[in-house]
Structures are given as C-alpha cells and as structure tokens.
Amino acid sequence: MVDMEIKREDILHLADLSDLSLTDEEVESLGKDLQDIIKYISQLDELDTKNVEPTYQVFEMENVWRNDEVVEQEADREALLALSEKSRDNQIEVPKVL
Amino acid sequence: MKTANKTVTAERLVRDALEKAEHFRDYNIFTYINKTGAIQKAREIDAKIARGEKVGRLAGVPYALKDNFLSPEGETTASAHILERFTSPVTATVVAKLEAEGAIMIGRTNLDAFAHGSSTENSYYGPTLNAFDQERVAGGSSGGSAVAVALDIVEFATGTDTGGSIRQPASFNGVYGLKPTYGCNSRYGVVAMASSTDCIGFFTKSPDDMDLLMSIASGRDPKDMTTLPDYYNNTKSGARLGDSRLAPARPSLRGSGAQSAPVVANVHETPTRRIGVIKDFDNKSVDSEIRNALKRKCETLKKKGYEIVELEMPALKYALAAYYIIVPAEVASNLSRYDGVRYGFRSDKSKDLDSLYENTRNEGFMPENKRRIMIGNFVLSSGFYDAYFLKAAKARTLILQEYEKAFEQVDYILTPVSPSPAFKLGEKANDPVAMYLEDIMSVSLNLAGVPGLAVPAGKTKAGLPIGLQLVGPRRSDKQLIEFAKELD
C-alpha cells in the first residue's frame, strides 16, 4: 500500500463521499497532501498483527438501561429551530430536494 | 487559586482579568470576550458574600473557555467558519459544574478549527501567538487556553485533548495541562472530534489548582454514557500507586464492570517506587535540550529514592500512524452532521439540497478539516478498510497491551511531550505530515485511554518552555497530579 498512487479520480470520489465540492486547486493540493499522509500511515504494514483482536474503544463498557420516562430536554423546539438559517411554520426550509 | 472574599471582590478579579485580556490582545487568544456577562455574574457573587451566604470553591475565579465548549454565553464556533453565528441553547456539563462553584468565564479561546491541529494556525480566526515568543506558535489545538493561563490573564482554562491538544500547548507555554483518563470528565456539550479518544481537561499554574478542578469536574454524567463513576474523589490523598488499599479490584484496560464499584486505579504492588522511561522515545528525533531536561528530572527522582526503569515499547512507534487512521475515521463520521441545514453557516450559492451540503461544507471547513474528513472516508472505504482501519484497530490493541505491561513494571512513565519546543509560525503549516509528527509522543495515551499530565521542566537556552509528560495507568489521575509535585 506504501507505493499506492492517489489519482485525480480518487480525490474526486473521496470528495463525493465527503460531501465536499472542491475547487480545481483544492483537488490538486489535497491530492498531494493525501498522498503524503497515506504514505505515512501505510508504515503500519510493517507491524505484525496476526492473531491480534481489534480495539475500537477503551471505555469499560457496561450497558445501562434508562427508565422508560419522557425526559425534559434542555432546549425546546423554538430554540432549536431558531438555530437554522431559514425556518418557518415550525419547519426548517431548504432548497428543492429533487 | 485566588477566590473572591470580602476584601477582594469577584468584580475586581474579573475586571483585572478583562484588562489583561485587552492588554494582550495582539496574541489573538480570544474569539469572544464575555464582558457584560462576567461582570454581572461577579456582582451576584459579591452580593452573596456581602450577605454572608455560602459561595462555591471557585467563587469569582475568572477562567477561559476553549471555544469548543457549548454554553449560551457568546457563540460556540470551534474556531470554524461553519459554526459562525452558532449560539448554543445548551450548556456543557463541565461548564455547568465550574459555574456552579462560582467560576466566571471571561472569554472563549482560539483553537485549530474543530481541534484539528497542533499549532492553532488552522483557526478561521488566525493563529494564537506563543506566550514566550510572538514569532512562534502557541501549540494546539488548545493554543488560546494555554496562552491565557501562561500570560496570567486567568487562573485556569479548559481544554480538550484528542491526541495531545492540551499537553502540547501546555508544554509550549510553560503551564500544567492534564489529559485525564478516558471517561473521567463528561464530554456532554463539547464539540465532538474523535469520540473514542476525546478527553476534557484543564490548564493550570499548579498541581493543586489542577486537583481542585478535577475534583469538581469528574464523575458520571447521565448525559454522557461514556463517563466513569467518580473515582477521582474516592482516591485517598497521599496514597500512591502500589498501596494495596487503593485497589479493591483491578480492571483490565479493556475489561468490563465499571458500573458499580468506584474502583480507583488498576494498580499493583511494588516494593519501591519505579519510574519508566521509554527507550525509543529518548532518541535522536527529540531536541537535545528536551532530552537533557528529561535526564535532569530522572536524576532528581533518583536522588529522592526512585528507581528509573528503561522500558521497551516497540509498538509505540506505530501509534501515530494508527492514530491518523482511527481519528480521521471518527472525524469523518462526527463532522458529517455539519450540513448547513439545522444550525451554523449555510452557503447561499446552492440551487438544490445536494449542492447546499457540498457548498456549505466546502466553504465552511478549513483545509485541515477537509484533509481529515477525506482521509477518514478513505480508510473506511471498501477495499481499504482491512488494510487501514482494521489494521489500526489491531495496532491499538498492541499499544494498549504495551501500556498494561509497562505498568506492571513501573508506577509512572516520564516522557517528553513533543519532539521540539514551540516552532516558528508557518514553519509546518504547509506540510501536514510534519505537523502530525508533533503528536508522536502524545497520541498513544489517547489510543490507550490512560491519563497524561504535562509539567513544566525549565526552558531552552533561547528561553522557550520545555514540557515533560507524566503517564499513569487508567484512573491514576489524582496520584499523577500529586506526583507532579515530586518533580520540582
């Protein structure tokens, strides 16, 4: 993976996955940066991880059931709707979806 | 820490802090100054004191809040364009706890946007300058908070540490900075970066102040399901690791059963107190003045009767690579919520919903945010998941095991915080990998969930602060803070 080449189409695909509309200059500069970063992180190849289980979190987890009750939230609907750039009639306004 | 009383009023303390903030304006420490709110709160506390009512342990103490902590006072921007004009309707749990004890927020501090960075240069509001040299970086991401404490504007400041964001700026500015055990302090109301490594901590001028703040902030929060029961306040003062009374049970780093017993620390019995130094960390990549500072501290400890043990921790070499896979993956996920619809900045160039998302995100994120989101989506994408994300998760296990093994041999580990003292502004700004290498000594603690305390350890010949990092097993935060006094 160390010698993997990141092509322009790869950057455009990642930008699409990331919901970013990159400019042409950004495609170029991010392409170079990502190539460098991927080269660095690829050194993990050297590490022997045979028979090693993955770790995804370091919290000593235990499930906790909550009571089945309605809890008053800190912020009400009005305060939350007021955070949006555009809202009316208790709804958030966006441009056309389809 | 100086608190308000009948002779020194809270209003005086707050006005002094506000004046100093104004005096040091050039440093670009604050993104918001809470003048009216702070003075009003100070007067309320003074009125209580005048009436002879009980006030909190932080009565009238001015503090600075890293601008990724939510509260209704001022806009919480995380120093990112995409959160401009965002005033939070909720208050972070740690903020609520500090304020309940009478602390007064005088301003919100600058950071690398979304805490992505090691210099505070990635801020939408420009870089914060180092407290000791205005041509150098403050460190990051909590650069503003570190400089606010270093310049004595405030008594303390809050920070977040996902891979070194408290410890590195603390060391660059000569103050104490604690990254607690994962889960010690509630993350509720703090802008999420990487949920499996994010920790909430503080910058202070002394270990005693750190202890006071931790005793206030720690403990289970029903709003954050990854908080531990309050072990911090159940740690006996004066106790040290190795005292069996400290350890009613010994949970493993990844064990279960954190719920009921306030287990204090997964400690062990050692006949003498042992301090570990990591063999691979004391190498040529570290600035010679920092290596010498570490050696000097080891000599001091030897004279005090400690045994210095050299540790082999070969997997730590891979911690940075694993970190820059795992964290961007979590970043990509956490930052997917910023779409311009429900809150924050919205691009006005859009014709339909898809372009609204894409334009808002492209205009609203800083270049480093975009790099991390894209790397995150790369390592998670089909075809690369096994080679990168899964591989990194396995490397994380090896890193955890090395820490477990190390703490069977030693009480604490002492390392540099970063390979060099504060670097020049712009020096690493165009080289992301060089910037990432700043974090090489700090990230493994976050992957393992263990606490780390940055302590000041003198200065370089050029007058730049040097910081060392004390590392302990999970839940040893209080002992770490007490042990920091031994290093003086």
Burial B299-333 (b: 16+ CB within 10 A, else e): eebeeeebebeebebebbbbbbbbbbbbbbbbbbb
Q: How confident is the model at residue B265 (pLDDT cuts 50, 70, 90)?
A: low
Structure confidence at residue B272 (pLDDT): 64
Reply yes or no on whether the pLDDT at B403 is more than 50.
yes
A97 interfacial to chain B (CB closer than 8 Å): yes
Q: Give the model's pLDDT for residue B283.
A: 66
Contact between residue A3 and residue A42 where contact means Cβ atoms under 8 Å apart: no
Q: What is the pLDDT of residues B111-135, one digit of tens each?
A: 999 999 999 999 999 999 999 999 9
Is pLDDT above 80 for B75? yes
The count of domains in chain A is: 1
Per-residue pLDDT band for A37 (boundaries 50, 70, 90) equals: very high
CA distance B111 to B387: 32
Q: Which of B87, B90, B356, B394 should be substituted to probe chain A, the one whose Cβ sees the most A Cβ atoms within 10 Å? A: B394
Residue B212 has pLDDT above 80, yes or no: yes
Q: What's the confidence (pLDDT) of residue B238?
A: 56
Choice among A49-63, B179-193, B247-261, B464-478 with the minimum mean pLDDT: B247-261
Q: Alpha-carbon distance B55 to B100, whole Å? A: 9
Q: Do you find a cis peptide bond into B141, omega within 30 degrees of 0? A: yes
- At residue B152, does pLDDT exceed 60? yes
pLDDT value of position B26: 98
Cα gap B67→B112, rounded to integer Å: 10
Cross-chain residue pair B387–A1, CB shorter than 8 Å? yes
Residue A95 neighbours by CB distance under 10 Å: 12
Please check whether residue A53 lies inside any domain of the structure.
no
Contact state of B325 with A18 under an 8 Å Cβ cutoff = no
Q: How confident is the model at residue B280 (pLDDT cuts 50, 70, 90)?
A: confident
Q: Do residue A41 and residue B379 have CB atoms under 8 angstroms apart?
A: yes
Contact B371 A96 (CB under 8 A): no
Q: Is pLDDT of B302 > 70? A: yes
Say which range, B127-141, B196-210, B341-355, has the weakest mean pLDDT: B341-355
Q: How far is CA B79 from CA A43, B30, B145, B431, in A?
A: 32, 10, 13, 21
On chain A, the residues whose CB falls within 8 A of the CB of B321 are 40-44
Asked if B393's CB is within 8 angstroms of A19's CB, the reply is no
8 Å CB contact of A85 and B346:
yes
In-domain check, residue A84: no
For B366, residues 6+ apart whose C-beta sits below 8 A from its C-beta are B80, B81, B112, B113, B114, B116, B122, B123, B124
Interface membership of A33 toward B (CB under 8 Å): yes
List chain A residues with CB under 8 Å of B379: 41
The per-residue pLDDT for B338 is 97
Across the interface, do B432 and A62 touch by the CB < 8 Å criterion? Answer: no
Distance CA B433, CA A38 (A): 10
CA dist B415 and B287 (Å) reads 13
Rounded Cα distance between B382 and A68, Å, is: 39
B245 pLDDT more than 50: no
The percent of residues in chain B predicted with pLDDT above 90, rounded, is 88
In a domain, A33, yes or no: yes
User: Where residue B243 falls among pLDDT bands split at 50, 70, 90?
Assistant: very low
Which residues, in sequence order, are bridge partners of residue B455?
B468
Distance from CA of B239 to the nearest CA of A (A): 24
Contacts of B443 in chain A (CB under 8 A): none
* Interatomic CA distance for residues A8 and A14, integer angstroms: 10
User: Would the pLDDT of B15 be above 80?
Assistant: yes
Q: Is the pLDDT of residue B271 over 80?
A: no
Q: Which of B95, B228, B370, B381 to mutate to test the interface with A (most CBs of A within 10 A)?
A: B370
Output the CA torsion B475→B476→B481→B483 (10° steps).
180
Place of tokens 């492209």: B362
Span of B2-6, B268-272, B384-388 with lowest mean pLDDT: B268-272
Please write the tens of the pLDDT for every residue from B313-330: 999 999 999 999 999 999
Whether A54 maps to a domain, the answer reads no
d(CA B451, nearest CA chain A) in Å: 12
- Please identify every residue of B annotated as catalytic: 66, 141, 165
Which of A21, A84, A85 is closest, CB to CB, to B355?
Answer: A21
* B354 to chain A: closest CA residue: A97
Residues in chain A with CB shorter than 8 Å from the CB of B257 are 60, 62
Name every chain B residue with its beta carbon within 8 A of the beta carbon of A42.
Answer: 321
Average pLDDT taken over every residue of chain B: 92
**Residue scoring higher pLDDT (B255 or B401):** B401
Domain annotation for chain B: domains and CATH numbers: 10-234 (3.90.1300.10), 244-320+388-487 (3.90.1300.10)
Scanning every residue of chain A, which has its alpha carbon at the shortest distance from the alpha carbon of B360? A20
Mark which residues 52-71 of A lie under 8 Å from B by CB: 52-62, 64
Residues B404-460 have pLDDT tens digits of 999 999 999 999 999 999 999 999 999 999 999 989 999 999 999 999 999 999 999
Query: Does residue B353 or residue A98 have the better pLDDT?
Result: B353
| Residue A41 in domain | yes
pLDDT of residue B407: 96
Question: Would A12 be classed as within a structural domain?
Answer: yes
CB pairs under 8 A between A and B: 185
CATH number, domain of A19, equals 1.10.20
Q: Distance between CA atoms of B186 and B221, rounded to whole angstroms?
A: 6
B360-388 pLDDT, tens per residue?
Answer: 999 999 999 999 999 999 999 989 999 99
How far apart CA A59 and CA B172 sit, in angstroms, is: 30
Which residue out of A22, A29, A41, A81 would a mutagenesis test of the B interface target, given it has the greatest number of B Cβ atoms within 10 Å? A41
Q: By CA distance, what is A98's nearest residue in B?
A: B352
Asked if the structure places residue A1 within a domain, the reply is no
Segments forming the whole domain that contains residue A29 = 8-46
- pLDDT value for A53: 97
Distance from CA of B43 to the nearest CA of A (A): 26
Contact B160, B166 (CB under 8 A): yes
- How far, CA to CA in Å, does B148 sit from each of A32, B106, B128, B452? 36, 11, 10, 21
| pLDDT score of B461 more than 60 | yes
In the three-class reduction of DSSP (H, G, I as helix; E, B as strand; rest coil), residue B220 is classed as coil
DSSP B141: S
Rounded to an integer, the average pLDDT of B66-94 is 97
Q: Residue B264's pLDDT is what?
A: 53
> What pLDDT was estimated at residue B326?
98
Going by pLDDT thresholds of 50, 70 and 90, the confidence category of residue B258 is: very low
Q: Do A20 and B362 touch (CB under 8 A)?
A: yes
